[in-house]
Structure 1
């Protein structure tokens, strides 16, 4: 029993941390709508520079849906984890058409990748 609990705690910690390299690979899906990095521009979706810790609906120059602007959310890791798995469940009425990443590990990896970029798009 103790071994099972230790294993569960270890795998949960690994999941929460995510792998930025794996996240970069998974982020290729996101690139259809989002840009990140020093020369990123708003596209179909907003720029994701500095998104971890940012208040929802606030990236300059992007035309957010009203539900996103008024959600009151801050994109911390826990909220991003839920949103990346099922955007419409977290922000009903969002214009984000993406149905969500298939696994928690994929979401954790993407979050680890996103966390590398500051608001200026430079890797920290």
Structure 2
């Protein structure tokens, strides 16, 4: 199981929100398959967009402007792909308590589930896969 741990520090109250993105390696594999690696360093590249989106989501959730669970997608623009179409990479973010109730709907190994149960983890993000956007 490939995953990425994340944390957001609120500078005003010094609170730290921690999370984990499951299937992150699948996201990277899908990017390797579908994107032009020459675009890797651009701000519009999906990895950079993912980090920006997660930061925005967590800040909005912390300020109670956004409710979880939330399904979101990160686009890969047509000019960044070999296949001349726009791909979208789908994610769902949820609080740990929601994930624990729905974990049976996903196929995760024991290690991933143990990481999610860690008391320091506040939220879980699951990479759901990619599709072609219209």
Structure with the higher helix share, 1 or 2: 1
Q: Scaled by the length of structure 2, what TM-score is found?
A: 0.28
Q: Scaled by the length of structure 1, what TM-score is found?
A: 0.29
